[in-house]
Amino acid sequence: MKNIWSIVCKNSITDQETNSFSILETLDEINVSYKDKIDLKITKMLPVSFQVVSLWFDENIKKDRKFYLTIEIIDPNNKLLKYFEQECIMPEGNKRLRVITKINGFGFTDKGLYSINLKYKCEKTSRLVSKLPIDINLTKAE
């Protein structure tokens, strides 16, 4: 099983007739404006809904293939803030599988570069397949 690509976006649409796929509003930066002092010792939640979309490929089409996808949100200090795990099944006869994970809210601790890590797990083997950067910028409102 191979991860071909992964992306963070606000939304995606699949055309049911043609199975064509559109990715809307890719997300690689979030700007946060604040009035009062921010406590950098606790995790704050941004009311942002987003999706992590990935395309998987496997030529073994003779049977269903099951794997687990783990998505981790890592802050600039390498602290794990949140993780999500989902079971994925690539059906017999298919070479490709699109996996869409919808996430509500983005936790942050400070400004800087965050990483959304995707890990593939099949049987006992787990490996990092993608690191998607999200930059958080803080601006004091006047």
The pTM of this model reads: 0.88
Q: Which domain holds residue 56?
A: 2-32+42-137
What is the per-residue DSSP string for 39-106? -TTS-EEEEEEEEEEEEEE-S--SS-EEEEEEEEEE-TTS-EEEEEEEEEEE-TT-SEEEEEEEEEEE
CATH of residue 66: 2.60.40.1930
Kindly state the DSSP code that residue 111 receives in the 8-state scheme: S
- Walk along the chain (142 residues) and give the pLDDT tens digit of each residue: 899 999 999 999 999 999 899 999 999 999 988 888 877 778 888 999 999 999 999 998 999 999 999 999 999 999 999 999 999 999 999 999 999 999 999 999 999 999 999 999 988 888 999 999 999 998 888 7
Q: What's the structural domain count of the chain?
A: 1
